[in-house]
Amino acid sequence: MISKFLEITRKDERTILGLMSGTSADGLDVALVKLKGGGTDIDLKLITARTYEYDDEFKRKIIELYDPESSRVNDICEMNFLIAKKHAEFVLQFLKENNLNSEDVDCIAYHGQTIHHLPNGGKYGVRSTMQIGEMDLLAYMTGIMTVGDFRKKDLSAGG
């Protein structure tokens, strides 16, 4: 995987599929973009995008995880994989709708589903955040290298 990642970073133009689902839990935003350059000298071009809505039952299951008094670790563990499975199905649908296959995409940039965010710290005074949606399952089901944990990295760096 490291060699694949290095190969992608050396390309003049990269095709990235960005996935984002917010705390409203209304669905998954999927955006196909082309990137040229890097760092502060990057050129981004949106190719196409779509939102896939969650059904009411799936949305309810996600929102139940937000309550620290009633959410259970077993539910969080299972939803970690269920969310990734649902997101992978949306990605495969998106690819089909746009006459693309996995080989047309260099990587998926995956935010995951935020279920708890403590930017100012909680009981222990530690700034923290939790996103679920198992990246390994998403990568396996789609056949596309997947990178993520962006909010954790941002928070760790002081953001």
Opening angle at CA 114, ends 93 and 43, nearest 5: 65
Q: What is the CATH number of the domain that holds 12?
A: 3.30.420.40
> What local confidence, expressed as pLDDT, does residue 1 receive?
65
Calculate the CA dihedral of residues 88, 89, 90, 94 and round it to 10 degrees.
Answer: 100
The pTM of this model reads 0.90
Q: Give pLDDT, residue 62.
A: 96
pLDDT for 90 = 99
Asked if residues 14 and 34 have their Cβ atoms less than 8 Å apart, the reply is yes
Distance from CA of residue 142 to its chain's centroid? 13
User: What pLDDT, on the 0 to 100 scale, is given for residue 136?
Assistant: 97
Mean pLDDT by 10-residue block, N- to C-terminus, for the chain (159 residues)? 73 92 93 91 95 97 93 96 98 99 97 92 91 97 93 79
Q: How many domains is the chain built from?
A: 1
Cα separation, 139 vs 68, in Å, equals 29
Domain assignment of residue 32, given as a range: 2-156
